[in-house]
Amino acid sequence: MESLSAVGLDILEKYFTQNEFALTRHHIDTYEKCVFDDIPSIIHSNNPIVFMKGPLDPNEGIFSTRLELFIGGNVPTPDQLALQISPP
């Protein structure tokens, strides 16, 4: 029976020999998940941004002007947001 450390070394060796760009692939995958999944989800969960001006009765939440700003549109799910991501 192989020792636990030998099994661990065997797994690591297989990972690095069978995965092209093994060290950077994780970083690229994590970045893409953040940009294409996490950020749109955060934007969607904080939509709309509400601006109110000219309080008529601030205790009751009545204002003369109310503006709702939807980043990416008023859509039911984050993947439907009209967001474009491009390099600077």
Residue ranges covered by each domain of the chain: 4-80
Q: pLDDT at position 1, please?
A: 63
- Write down the pLDDT at residue 26: 84
Mean pLDDT for the chain overall: 88
> How far, in Å, CA of 51 to CA of 40, rounded?
21
pLDDT digits (tens, 9 = 90+) for 20-53: 777 788 888 999 999 999 999 999 999 999 999 9
Q: Enter the pTM of the model.
A: 0.68
Closest alpha carbon to 72 in 61, 85, 59: 85
pLDDT value for 87: 75
